[in-house]
């Protein structure tokens, strides 16, 4: 019975983490955007505006739940929950440290890929349920974009899987550091199994994975509907896209889903390409930095730091780049990213057979 209680506690803990991260993310986003646009951002509420998010949350909870008269009530109410649950379920398979993973599934990566695709359905549901032209246009754009960008993202992921020979995220993480059961080779020629650190990360084990990482990162921006791929909620054209009609708690759920999606895709990228919970510090002779900084607590710290850095890059990109047009977006996906991702997959096969 304890077995099940542990699972419930883990699930609740993950939920709490997602909530905390969203609060932090909203505050960070405001401060980052303010810095980039040479403003101050929130300053009034609390020291440096730290209580701003809390105040926003209290405001959000108090708001009236408005259901448009012409809306499909059931779909309208269910949509935000489905969008959030789809993203939240994905967290179940992510490893946090050596031996610390909520659910050690042998097809973890495939599972996450599948679960993320459910979000599309929730967005379409929100768009249709609102019975509003802006909402439905936003939902259609979002679905078209997510489906298209799943292809280069999928092939970038497959090129990692072909090198790692497993779909288990914990095993993929294990292969990129000093705990690796196989030999880790820097650029395919220098055995760094004992040295570890940044040299044994996937992007440095096989250089073409660096390209795959960039492809995955661009595609993940599109999948979480972030700028420069935010045409689903283009403020200047569509008011707010598929979540135009949502108020109060429902809007909060959509927001929670967006920020947890950012964290989820960044964490998947970190696990697959940037060494997961492995330390970036290598062993140098008798100064065994890598061995000192590997462990459960260290693992959590490293993966959090790396993921937050990637989230930071996402925010940086959002506030610096202009929005892409639909045709530019599709051109980028089908004519640039997809062929490149195919090439990465091909090189992965050759790499595994002849170099590793």
Partner 1 sequence: MNLVQILFYLMAFITLGSALVVAISQNLVRSIFMFFVTLFGLAGLYVLALADFVAVTQIVIYVGGILVLILFAFMLSGKEALATAEQQTNRFISLNNLPAFLLAALFLVVMLNVVFKADLNNLQWVKAAIETKNVVPVDGTGINSIGVNLMTRYLLPFEAISVLLMIALVGAAHLSRKEAIKT
Does 167 engage in binding with partner 1 (CB under 8 A)?
Answer: yes
Does 150 engage in binding with partner 1 (CB under 8 A)?
Answer: yes
Does 67 engage in binding with partner 1 (CB under 8 A)?
Answer: no
Rule CB under 8 A: choose which of 33, 43, 117, 193 binds partner 1: 117
Does 107 engage in binding with partner 1 (CB under 8 A)?
Answer: yes
Does 120 engage in binding with partner 1 (CB under 8 A)?
Answer: yes
Structure token pair of residue 120: 């599309």
Q: How far apart are CA 222 and CA 349, in angstroms?
A: 27
Does 125 engage in binding with partner 1 (CB under 8 A)?
Answer: yes
Q: What is the DSSP letter of 323?
A: P
Site string for partner 1, 266-305 (x = CB under 8 A): ----------------------------------------
Q: At what angle do helices 338-350 and 133-164 cross, to 10 degrees?
A: 10
DSSP-based three-state secondary structure for 283: strand
Rule CB under 8 A: choose which of 27, 113, 134, 255 binds partner 1: 113
10 Å CB burial of residue 12 (0-12, 13-18, 19+) is exposed
Does 6 engage in binding with partner 1 (CB under 8 A)?
Answer: no
Q: Which is nearer to partner 1, 115 or 198 (CB)?
A: 115
Question: What is the footprint of partner 1 within residues 177-216 (CB under 8 A)?
Answer: none
Q: How far apart are CA 293 and CA 192, in angstroms?
A: 17
Stretch that binds partner 1, among 57-65, 122-130, 268-276, 336-344 (CB under 8 A): 122-130
Residue pair 92/151 in contact (Cβ under 8 Å)? The answer is no
Does 164 engage in binding with partner 1 (CB under 8 A)?
Answer: no
Q: At what angle do helices 73-90 and 108-130 cross, to 10 degrees?
A: 160
* Non-local CB neighbours of 195 within 8 Å, separated by 6+ positions: 178, 282, 283, 284, 290
Does 346 engage in binding with partner 1 (CB under 8 A)?
Answer: no
Does 12 engage in binding with partner 1 (CB under 8 A)?
Answer: no
Taking residue 62's Cβ as centre, other Cβ atoms within 10 Å add up to 9
Binding site for partner 1 (CB under 8 A): 72, 74-75, 78, 105-107, 110-111, 113-115, 117-118, 120-121, 124-125, 128, 136, 140, 143, 147, 150, 167-168
């Amino acid at each position: 019975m304890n077995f099940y209680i542990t699972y419930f506690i883990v699930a609740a803990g993950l939920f709490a983490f997602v909530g905390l991260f969203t609060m932090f993310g909203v505050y960070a986003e405001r401060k980052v955007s303010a810095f980039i646009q040479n403003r101050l951002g929130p300053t009034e509420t609390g020291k440096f505006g730290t209580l701003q998010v809390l105040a926003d949350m209290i405001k959000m909870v108090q708001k009236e739940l408005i259901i448009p008269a012409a809306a499909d009530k059931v779909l309208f109410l269910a949509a935000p929950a489905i969008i959030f649950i789809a993203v939240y379920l994905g967290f179940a398979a992510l490893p946090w440290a050596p031996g610390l993973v909520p659910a050690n599934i042998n097809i973890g990566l495939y599972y996450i890929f599948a679960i993320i695709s459910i979000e599309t359905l929730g967005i379409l549901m929100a768009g249709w349920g609102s019975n509003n032209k802006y909402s439905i246009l936003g939902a259609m754009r979002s679905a078209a974009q997510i489906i298209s960008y799943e292809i280069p993202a999928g092939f970038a992921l497959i090129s990692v899987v072909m090198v790692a020979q497993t779909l288990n995220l914990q095993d993929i993480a294990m292969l990129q550091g000093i705990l690796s059961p196989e030999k880790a080779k820097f650029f395919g020629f220098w055995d760094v199994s004992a040295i570890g650190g940044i040299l044994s990360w996937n992007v440095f084990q096989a250089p073409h994975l660096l390209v795959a990482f960039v492809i995955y990162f661009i595609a993940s921006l599109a999948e979480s509907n972030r700028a420069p791929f935010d045409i689903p909620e283009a403020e200047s054209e569509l008011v707010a896209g598929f979540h135009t009609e949502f108020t109060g708690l429902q809007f909060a759920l959509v927001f929670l889903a967006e920020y947890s999606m950012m964290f989820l895709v960044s964490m998947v990228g970190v696990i697959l390409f940037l060494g997961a919970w492995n330390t970036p510090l290598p062993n140098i002779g008798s100064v065994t930095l890598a061995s000192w900084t590997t462990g459960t607590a260290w693992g959590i710290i490293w993966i959090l730091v790396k993921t937050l850095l990637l989230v930071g890059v996402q925010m940086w990109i959002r506030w610096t780049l202009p929005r892409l047009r639909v045709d530019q977006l599709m051109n980028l996906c089908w004519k640039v990213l997809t062929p490149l991702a195919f090439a990465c997959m091909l090189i992965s096969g050759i790499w595994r057979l002849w170099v590793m």
